[in-house]
Structure 1
Amino acid sequence: MPTILAEAVREGNWLQLAALVAGLLVFAGCAVRLTVTDLREHRLPNRWTGALAAGGGITLGLGCLADDVGWSRFWSMLGGGAAYLALMLVLHLISRTGMGMGDVKLAGGLGLYAGWLGWDHLLAAIVLGFVAGGLVALALVLTRRATGSTHLPFGPALLAGTAVALML
């Protein structure tokens, strides 16, 4: 995303720049709210996962209008959202107690953002999210603050993984 932002500035593509900055502001605002809520209450409210998905879809969709490869990015964005959501839904169905529907809905919005950048960024967001969640769980188990059966909030790890992928 940083290279695309710099390119928009260099080319004077102010519509794309405004759309991307708005999209990142939506992402940041929703990410903070979702992280705080998930850490406190172990839930990801529909209002915020929906705001993330709708805000990302609208702002990044507008960014597609101002881009030479706009339609390619648009379909990649939609495909990324659907693919990440489908993956998490399958994981939810396989491990009923391990992953909640909030994580599944969150993944749909995160997939829009990472997918907009391309399939490599989507894969990076997924892998980084799972690695972050695994490292946090491992650290908590090693410090005896959690056991193998402790339910941990997974939303912050998914958000962090996508945030890092967006900066690649």
Structure 2
Amino acid sequence: MEDFIVLVPLALFALFALSLMLTDFREHRLPNRMTLPLIAVTFACLFLHLASTGKVQPYVNSIVAGLLTFGLGYLLVKYFDLGMGDVKLLTSLNALLAWHSPWLILYSLAIGFVGASVWAIVVWIKTRNPRARIALGPYLIVGFAAVIAQPTTELITAVV
């Protein structure tokens, strides 16, 4: 029953997902008013789960994944063309995935980056501009949703 708390950040993600995707497509940014609460709620709920169950390993996995995501993401923002909104979004999403299994992060990123790459090729061919910008957030969200669906279903089934 204590695992139910992990569904709270997923519910918040579901509430914000469409708005995040539309905003990123329109404005090429992911607003702090949605990404920062996702981070805060994710880590608060994971800490509450730790406090109520004493299960340290899922919490450690989540913290390490979140810190690595933010650190590596910051470097990508600084030296390459990744947006900070994408990094903040990935910090919370990867922490949630790592709670289930750190390997899920790789699957989620693979789906997201392949989807974004295919779309980028289409845009670049259409506009004949290899520097055309694309929104990465929606593809990261789709990758996350595709990967988290099965563990979430198992969690809901176990709780109910």
Q: TM-score band (shorter)?
A: 0.7 to 0.9
More helix as a share of residues: 2
Please state if 1:155 is matched with 2:137.
yes
Alignment CA distance shift 1:146-1:59 (3 Å): farther
Other-structure match for 2:121: 138
Please state if 1:84 is matched with 2:69.
yes
In the aligned structure 1, how far is the partner of 2:36 from the partner of 2:128?
30
State TM-score, norm by structure 1.
Answer: 0.78
In the aligned structure 2, how far is the partner of 1:24 from the partner of 1:154?
20
In the aligned structure 2, how far is the partner of 1:52 from the partner of 1:163?
15
SS in 1 for 2:131: coil
- Cα RMSD between the aligned structures? 2.0
In the TM superposition, what is the alpha-carbon distance from 1:146 to its structure 2 partner? Answer: 6.4
Other-structure match for 1:49: 35
* Identical pairs, percent: 28
SS in 1 for 2:107: helix
In structure 2, what residue type is equivalent to 1:126?
A: L
State TM-score, norm by structure 2.
Answer: 0.81
**Count of aligned pairs between the two proteins:** 150
- Structure 2 unmatched runs, 5+: 151-160
In the TM superposition, what is the alpha-carbon distance from 1:75 to its structure 2 partner? Answer: 0.6
SS in 1 for 2:58: helix
In the aligned structure 2, how far is the partner of 1:118 from the partner of 1:101?
25
Please state if 1:16 is matched with 2:12.
no
SS in 1 for 2:82: coil
- Structure 1 unmatched runs, 5+: 1-12
In the aligned structure 2, how far is the partner of 1:47 from the partner of 1:160?
20
Conserved 8 A contact 1:130-1:158: yes
Q: 1:106 aligns with which of 76, 83, 89?
A: 89
Deviations 1:106-133 (A, max 9, x none): 2211221112112101222222221121
In the aligned structure 1, how far is the partner of 2:129 from the partner of 2:31?
26
In the TM superposition, what is the alpha-carbon distance from 1:72 to its structure 2 partner? Answer: 0.3
Deviations 1:119-166 (A, max 9, x none): 101222222221121122123334x15631111111111122222221
Q: 1:62 aligns with which of 48, 58, 61?
A: 48
In the aligned structure 2, how far is the partner of 1:71 from the partner of 1:44?
31
